[in-house]
Amino acid sequence: MEEVLRQELLTKTKQAVDANDWRAIVALWQPWVERGDAEAEYQLAYNCLWSTTCDDDAKYHEMEELLRRAAAKNHADAIWFLATREQGARETSPEFERELLRAGQLGSTHAQGVLGVVYETGNWSGPKDLAEAARWYRLAAEKGDPESQFHLGYMLLLGEGVLKNLDEGLMWLERAAAKEEFMAYPWLVDCYENGYGGVQIDSAKARHWRNRQEEYDRLHPLGPNRSYSIEGSAPDPSLDCLSAIEGVNGFSFVSDDNQFTVYYDAALITPAGLDVKVQSAVPSASPIVTG
Indicate if the pLDDT at residue 174 is higher than 70.
Answer: yes
Tens of pLDDT along 101-144? 999 999 999 999 999 988 988 878 888 999 999 999 999 999 99
Indicate if the pLDDT at residue 87 is higher than 90.
Answer: no
Work out the percent of the chain whose per-residue pLDDT is above 70: 90
Q: What is the dihedral of CA 291, 256, 231, 263, to 10 degrees?
A: 50
Amino acid at 104: G
Indicate if the pLDDT at residue 159 is higher than 70.
Answer: yes
Tens of pLDDT along 224-252? 888 888 876 544 444 656 766 888 877 77
Looking at residues 23-33, what average pLDDT do you find? 94
Domain 222-291 fold is Alpha-Beta Plaits (3.30.70)
DSSP 244: G
Indicate if the pLDDT at residue 27 is higher than 90.
Answer: yes
Residue 52's pLDDT is what?
67
* Domain residue spans of the chain: 3-79, 222-291
Question: Containing H/E element for 30?
Answer: helix 22-33
pLDDT bucket at 89, cuts 50 / 70 / 90: very low
In 3-state terms, what secondary structure has residue 259? strand
